Amino acid sequence: MLRISKKLMFAIEAVLDIAYNAGDETVQSGEITRRQGIPKRYLEQVLQQLVREGVLAGVRGPRGGYRLARERRRITLGEIVRVVRAMELSSDPVEDPAGSDLGHRVVRPLWAELQESCMAKLDGTTIEDLCLRARNAGVACEARDKIDFSI
């Protein structure tokens, strides 16, 4: 089974929270922690990296916080996955030179195909898509009047 790390899950939830609950407004990390229950130790680190990679924009000052750096229909889950994976220290076992002939010729190529297929699906899924899913699922939104669901 493919697994998602806590850091990656929290990163996706944080970006989605900003898009869904804030619209064009800035969101402070404490608001995301309150709404999503994401531990601050994970959140700040990942938010700062998402700012460095151009997914989010950081706004300084007393009314500062985070906002999307681009329209939510232009931010994909694949992009967020790549940012977080680059932060994580563990290496991909598929790329490990050690292993058997069966592993290198059969198992690893299969796993690489699965990863490629999964990333293609993530690259085709935008934050806008997730906002629409949240709306259709009846997820409460703190800023319903600020959100524009038009495409």
Per residue, what are the HEC states of 28-61? CHHHHHHHHCCCHHHHHHHHHHHHHCCCEEEECC
User: Among 6-10, 66-70, 92-96, where is mean pLDDT lowest?
Assistant: 92-96
Residue spans per domain, the chain: 6-91+126-146
Instruction: Confirm if 14 and 43 have CB atoms less than 8 A apart.
Output: yes
**Structure confidence by residue, pLDDT tens digits, 115-146:** 999 999 999 999 999 999 999 999 999 875 44
**Structure confidence by residue, pLDDT tens digits, 69-121:** 999 999 999 999 999 999 887 666 667 777 789 988 999 999 899 999 999 99
- pLDDT given for residue 2 in this prediction: 66
Residue 147 has pLDDT above 50, yes or no: no
User: Does the global pTM surpass 0.75?
Assistant: yes
CATH fold of 6-91+126-146 reads: Arc Repressor Mutant, subunit A (1.10.10)
User: The tokens 């085709």 sit on which residue?
Assistant: 124
